Amino acid sequence: MLRLLSHKLKKYAIGWLISFLFLLDGFFMGYLMPSIGASMTGGSAKTGPIDLMFFYTPQTAYKMIASYGDSVRSSYRAVELTVDIAYPMVYTLFFSLLITWLFNKAFDPKSRMQRLNVVPFGAGLFDLFENLGIVTMLSIHPATPVSVAWLTTIFTMTKWSFVGASLILMIIGVAAIIARANRRNRKHHHHTRTHTDGGTT
């Protein structure tokens, strides 16, 4: 299934679609999500979203949820079930298609590296699991089951780990393209120099 998904991504790794997703991701990351976070910290609690942290204990999570107040808890739950479902879809596709595009230029088509373009889907999947955990904790307040909080923490840490891995893959792709271009330039320079020397003699 992952191999099929990896192959499908190659069909859609085209410039205009990647550019569109880049702009869409920029809108979410640069404006919409910060605005939502700012609205949460605008009250007396001064507490941001749980899902921006990498790790949290059940005590921390439930303390934050309690500090939000009814109105913020309600709006946070609505965001997790709407905006924060759309956003993972956007960044997952953007990351995956960008990695696909970079690796197509950086590595041989038969290289196993090509299959790593599916890594961002791990981030998107665990982001949705995390949303489910956060919505559950918000909905059952003031109950504080430790197991739900720890499970949500695991989802959050896994999500961020996949995000980090995706960013590393992008850097690898760019570095590999530069290295490949340098090798071609050296080879071309060597060939030209050899041809010139041969012509001279």
What does the alpha-carbon distance between residue 73 and residue 97 come to, in Å, rounded to a whole number? 35
**Are 122 and 162 in contact, with CB atoms under 8 Å apart?**
yes
What does the alpha-carbon distance between residue 30 and residue 34 come to, in Å, rounded to a whole number? 7
Mean pLDDT of all residues belonging to the chain: 91
**Is the four-CA dihedral 41, 54, 82, 148 of positive or negative sign?**
negative
pLDDT digits (tens, 9 = 90+) for 65-117: 999 999 999 999 999 999 999 999 999 999 999 999 999 999 998 899 999 99
Closest CA to 90 of 26, 137, 140, 46: 26
Lowest mean pLDDT among 29-33, 92-96, 156-160: 29-33
Q: Own/partner pairs for 56-63, CB < 8 Å, 24+ apart? A: 56/149, 56/153, 56/156, 57/149, 57/153, 58/144, 58/146, 58/149, 58/150, 58/153, 61/137, 61/149, 61/152, 61/153, 62/137, 62/141, 62/144, 62/149
Contacts of 96 (CB under 8 A, 6+ apart): 9, 117, 118, 119, 120, 121
What does the alpha-carbon distance between residue 98 and residue 1 come to, in Å, rounded to a whole number? 20
Quote the pTM value. Answer: 0.88
What does the alpha-carbon distance between residue 196 and residue 113 come to, in Å, rounded to a whole number? 38
pLDDT digits (tens, 9 = 90+) for 109-141: 889 999 999 999 999 999 999 999 999 999 999
What does the alpha-carbon distance between residue 99 and residue 144 come to, in Å, rounded to a whole number? 40
